[in-house]
Amino acid sequence: MAYNVYSLPDVKSVLYHPDVGTANLHLCGIGKITVSAAGDLTSHTTTADGYVVVNRLKTTNGTVQIEVPQNSIGDDFLRRWAKWARSTNSPNRIALGTLTITDNVSGFKTVCTGVSLQKAPDRTYDRTATNVTYTLLATTITEQ
């Protein structure tokens, strides 16, 4: 009997920005990555006489949520990126980030380009460590 296998340790994720550096998120205890398309692939328009017109839409942008343990290497990198984004005098460099996610088991590879940090995460201070979630915006998300 064959089984489908998924293993987070086999998922490699690398976040890069030329002014901030590179973070190998898979090496810093990544909690979760969620890639969400922003737009629809198709829509339907109904005409006055009842016909349905199928519209093909070409949207490639979306959001990426990255969950990392607080005070981890990934959190430090993303916090540094947020600090850079607040203080940069080069707004044309804001969206130069890339995120590459490679699932070595399934063979899927997701590449996000035109990546910018939407906002710094909310912070929770508790008696135990927690994860923090960063939201990134991507102009192009492709799956290979």
Domain boundaries, the chain: 8-143
CATH architecture of 8-143: Roll (2.30)
Q: What is the pLDDT of residue 33?
A: 93
Q: Write the pLDDT tens digit of every residue in 129-143.
A: 889 999 999 999 999
Residues 106, 18: Cα–Cα separation, whole Å: 29
User: Distance (Å, rounded) from C-alpha 142 to C-alpha 144?
Assistant: 6
Structure confidence at residue 120 (pLDDT): 85
Q: What Rg, from alpha-carbon coordinates, does the chain have?
A: 18
pLDDT digits (tens, 9 = 90+) for 17-33: 999 999 999 887 788 99
pLDDT at 78: 95
State what percent of residues in the chain have pLDDT above 90. Answer: 64
Q: What is the pTM of this model?
A: 0.87
| Residue range 1-20: mean pLDDT, rounded | 83
Round to whole Å and give the CA distance between 9 and 18.
26
Give the pLDDT of residue 142.
Answer: 96
Residue 114 burial (CB count, 10 A): 16
The reported pLDDT for the residue numbered 105 is: 84
- pLDDT tens digits, one per residue of 54-106: 999 988 999 999 999 988 889 999 999 999 999 999 989 999 999 999 998 88
What is the per-residue pLDDT for 27? 86
Residue partners of 9: CB distance under 8 A and separation at least 6: 26
Residues 114 and 138 sit within 8 Å (Cβ to Cβ)? yes
Q: Which contiguous run of DSSP H or E holds residue 62?
A: strand 62-69
Could you give phi then psi for residue 34, rounded to 5 degrees? -120, 120
Give Cα 115 to chain centroid, integer Å.
Answer: 8
Distance CA 42, CA 58 (A): 8
Predicted pLDDT at 95 = 96
Q: Which residue has the tokens 């990555």?
A: 33
The span from the first CA to the last CA of the chain, in angstroms, equals 28
